[in-house]
Structure formats: structure tokens, C-alpha cells
Amino acid sequence: MKKHFQHKALCTGLLALMGLLASNTSWAQVCTREYAPVCGQVTGEITPRTFANDCLLKAAQAAPVAPGECTLLPMTGSGVDAHGCKGSAGYQWNAELSECVRPWMRSVITLEVGPKRRPCTGVVEMQCLMVRERADGKHRQKWQALMGTIAGFDHVPGKRYKLRVRKDHIENPPADAPDTTYTLLKVLR
């Protein structure tokens, strides 16, 4: 009888202990080893992680994000194209220059150069090349005096030229300098 009483007291104590533990903590969960990946987010962690299966996700008290393995998504503003150009910063690939450019800062244009220089006034009186940009074979603008030079280009008086040039915009030029520079890429005619 004494053994029976001890056994009953022990069982009652164990049940009370189990109830206490169950109310304060969660029971350890037994999960299978099956691989059915699921992407989940654990509270307090910055990036989601891949769990082998849904059971392990629940055991870690993680919130499901997506079925399958987690894929690393680029951070906002970090996307680059196949050439390494960062589109979110305004860069685009320019095949003719073989580099990433911001189109409003650097471009390639066709520039027609007139046969004669004309007097023009900048800081001082000088002789300027007369130029006009061309787009799609059409004249894009009227002839204008070019305040400055085309790097790499030597003008022969009396000869008309059609050039491919790199046009660079200068953000903060000196007060007496142009805000655009030109560099010869190719003489078309």
C-alpha cells in the first residue's frame, strides 16, 4: 500500500510539473528529415533564412515568407545590369563608348562642322567653329558658334566635316568656360 501511495504521489507530481512546464515554455518539437524547403523570417533577424521543412520553420517560431529556398534579393538601389551599370543611379550602358554613362552628363552625338570659322565673343574676341548637332540624319538645330574646341580634331579651313563626338556636360564649369566639352571619336566625312 505504501508503494502504491508513493507511485500515485510521484505521478501526481510529474503531471503537475508537466503542466507547469507546458504553461511556461513550449514543448520540443520532433521533425522529420524530409527536405521540402521553405523560406522564413525569425523575429529579430534581418534576413530571412531557408528551413528544411515546414515543421522546422514552426519549431523555430518563424513566420513563413515564401515556399522554397530563400533567394537573395538585391537591396533597393543596388541593382546593376549585365554590364555593371547601376540603373538606380541613372547609369546606362553606351555601346559606342563601351562604358556606363549618365545620358544627361555624357552622350555620343553626330556633329556637323562648317567650312569657315566665324568671329565670336567669349571672354575675348576669337574665331569659333560653326557647328550643329544632327539627329537621325536631320538637322537638329541652327548653326552655332562653338565656344571651345573639339579635342583631337584639327579643322582645315574650307572643308565641311561630319563627326561622331563624345559630348560631356560639366556640372560646375568656371565662369569663363563652356559647360560642354567635345571629344572626337570618329570622322564620318
Q: Is 15 helix (H, G, I), strand (E, B) or coil?
A: helix
CB 26 within 8 A of CB 9: no
DSSP output for 17-77: HHHHHHHHSPPP---------EEEE-TT-SS-EEESSHHHHHHTTPEEEEESS---PPPTT
189 residues of the chain, pLDDT tens digit each: 566 556 666 666 665 556 555 544 455 678 988 999 999 999 888 888 999 999 999 999 999 988 898 886 555 556 788 888 888 888 999 998 999 999 989 999 999 999 999 998 777 888 899 999 887 656 567 888 888 889 999 999 999 999 999 999 988 888 777 888 999 999 998
CB 92 within 8 A of CB 100: yes
Domain edges within the chain: 35-73, 76-103, 106-187
pTM of the model: 0.55
